[in-house]
Chains A and B, each alone.
Chain A
């Protein structure tokens, strides 16, 4: 290996002249197919990967440290920056964990709005996954089509909360706003059209010879591997294990809606592609049912818990005591009870968990973020050896990793 010498350039991407004739290359961290700042140190024998060492940390911002120095409400917008493809699912994961710690009851309307946003985010994330994954593999048309539909979905998010990427669309205790006028009409229009779009993507990819050759039998995650490496979400269900937290440990109103958990038993990238497609259809199905539920709810959108949650704005503006309480909650922050929770939710990428240890103060004593991509990236060291260099791109794209949540 060449020695890194400061002030002197060196060819950091290649190292030849090893005794066993293998070649070490750096894949990334500035590689368009590494989906962020992933540096992958690959040992190649010809084009065959014999060893892979993922190196992460290029996007490390110390979110857990930041959380220990912030009040709970202050940390919520920071969670946007974890999985920035589907920001609401992070917001929700955090808000839900804190609510569990506080033992709050969330108004039904807020729950329906949250579910709509969560499923919409799942669609956005899956469309983005499909677009970038297909682009990596060489199907540029899909990229353009899928981004078009994602744009419409992001318009809906923008209509609701004003942001397209970093939504902060959920609050601890509920949601900040009721749905804007005509939002449901626009949403219905979007989900009415989406199935035909998904059919279009499938028409382009399902029987596409190149797509199948690049994906079938590539990146096989056996069920044992998936369990041992802590896989979750589509990567786990792609290995034939039907585990969806929405189904098994239902939160919000997921136990009231009717949806299937698609499972693929082929364990390869193609199976996971089919799975993502089916999951989008299930999300559409959930949104349809939730829209009907929305109309039957009372207009309340924030939980009533004066000790932890500010009163509605009208009340703050008219009632002195509510104003005082709001002032204390904003300046000092809520103080949850002493205790700890680990709460997992099903984000588009997998099991998104928040472990919160509260010592009764305004700042969490310890907050651990369990981001699914982190564990999926660690799997690469076992998954990649035995594949060809070109398959590395397929596998990274297929695992749907996002570096905001790996490095946190």
Chain B
């Protein structure tokens, strides 16, 4: 018997129906010369660095640079071209397609009122240099990028995971990481609290503390199928009168004639 093929590099959800002949339209890419400010910025960049590609998409300039020039380009953009904010940086996983990560830096210039995106590709296990000395906002941005994708950054003053626990296995935003976590993730709490040797003792059915088992009469009772504590579950319907003897105390003292209905909140 053959095992079913599963895609290892992309464990994400697939749409259950895809049209084989569907040709996706493109968001138009405009020439950089169509915008005066961007054209000038790009010219300055081109005279100093090796620019691989540049275009304007939805009003923002996108520039592809070389992976080893990120620090120089961002320094230049901040000090010479007045891009004073690094709003966002992160990575995109293209490991399935080309074994690469695409890194992007989203910059903003408040004086020019322009946003620009600097991008480049790196191979999976290659390091990039930190830009947190230029923009301090990159401090946490890069930590998150490392945490989520495993992109290694050199020169950062505190390169630790930020959102996931420090001893977490793998990087959850990679496409190879399933949405519901991997094997390590499902045992994480057991390993952490009791130790790996307890995996067998506790078993997969008990590892989730929020699991609700309808046959468990120690901790839960099924409505209309209540049995005494710890006894076997039964399928017979039990008639239970939930009202206490003599009715509920608070309701008894309410006199309908004396109550007032407010038209609106005072």
- Residues in chain A within 8 A of chain B (CB atoms): 6-7, 56-57, 60, 62, 64-66, 68-70, 100-101, 103, 152, 155, 225, 227-230, 232, 241, 243, 248-249, 331-333, 335, 337-342, 344, 351, 353, 355, 357-363, 365-366, 368, 370, 374-375, 377-378, 381-382, 407
Closest to B58 in A: A341
Contact indicator A101/B27 (Cβ below 8 Å): yes
Chain A residues near B148: list those with CB within 8 A: 64
Closest to A337 in B: B25
Q: Give the residue of A68, A70, A225, A338 whose beta carbon is less than 8 angstroms from that of B26.
A: A338
Chain A residues near B13: list those with CB within 8 A: 68-70, 363
Chain B residues near A248: list those with CB within 8 A: 110, 113
Contact indicator A56/B162 (Cβ below 8 Å): yes
Chain B residues near A368: list those with CB within 8 A: 88, 90
Contact indicator A62/B172 (Cβ below 8 Å): yes
Chain B residues near A374: list those with CB within 8 A: 140
Contact indicator B110/A333 (Cβ below 8 Å): no
Give the docked Cα–Cα distance between A376 and B87 (Å): 12
Give the docked Cα–Cα distance between A363 and B17 (Å): 12
Knowing A65-B173, A100-B58, A378-B137, say if A57 contacts B15 (CB, 8 Å).
Answer: no
Chain B residues near A155: list those with CB within 8 A: 265
Give the docked Cα–Cα distance between A381 and B162 (Å): 14
Contact indicator B92/A363 (Cβ below 8 Å): no
B136 on interface, CB distance cutoff 8 Å? yes
Closest to B137 in A: A230
Chain A residues near B26: list those with CB within 8 A: 337-339
Within 8 A of A (CB), among B92-122: 92-93, 104, 106, 108, 110, 113, 115, 117
Of A342, A351, A366, which is in contact with the most chain B CB atoms at under 10 Å from its CB?
A342
Contact indicator B172/A359 (Cβ below 8 Å): no
9 A-B residue contacts at CB 8 Å? A7-B194, A69-B12, A229-B137, A333-B15, A337-B25, A344-B115, A353-B106, A357-B92, A365-B92
Chain A residues near B60: list those with CB within 8 A: 341-342
B139 on interface, CB distance cutoff 8 Å? yes
Give the docked Cα–Cα distance between A64 and B84 (Å): 27
Closest to A344 in B: B87
Q: Give the residue of A65, A335, A342, A381 whose beta carbon is less than 8 angstroms from that of B179.
A: A65
- Residues in chain B within 8 A of chain A (CB atoms): 12-13, 15, 17, 22, 24-27, 29, 57-58, 60, 62, 84-88, 90, 92-93, 104, 106, 108, 110, 113, 115, 117, 135-137, 139-140, 148, 161-165, 172-173, 175, 177, 179, 192-195, 265
Chain B residues near A382: list those with CB within 8 A: 136
Chain A residues near B86: list those with CB within 8 A: 230
Closest to A59 in B: B163
Q: Return the 10 tightest CB-CB contacts between A and B, nearest first.
A: A339-B27, A360-B24, A230-B137, A57-B163, A378-B140, A337-B25, A69-B13, A228-B136, A370-B88, A60-B163
Contact indicator B163/A342 (Cβ below 8 Å): no
Closest to A6 in B: B193
* Closest Cβ–Cβ distance, residue B31 to chain A (whole Å): 16
Q: Give the residue of B87, B139, B163, B265 whose beta carbon is less than 8 angstroms from that of A351.
A: B87
Chain B residues near A355: list those with CB within 8 A: 88, 90, 104, 106
Give the docked Cα–Cα distance between A365 and B13 (Å): 11
Contact indicator B164/A338 (Cβ below 8 Å): no
Contact indicator A228/B135 (Cβ below 8 Å): yes
Chain B residues near A342: list those with CB within 8 A: 60, 87-88, 106, 115, 117
Contact indicator B12/A363 (Cβ below 8 Å): yes
Give the docked Cα–Cα distance between A68 and B10 (Å): 12
Contact indicator B195/A6 (Cβ below 8 Å): yes
Contact indicator B106/A230 (Cβ below 8 Å): no
Contact indicator B164/A241 (Cβ below 8 Å): no
* Closest Cβ–Cβ distance, residue B131 to chain A (whole Å): 11
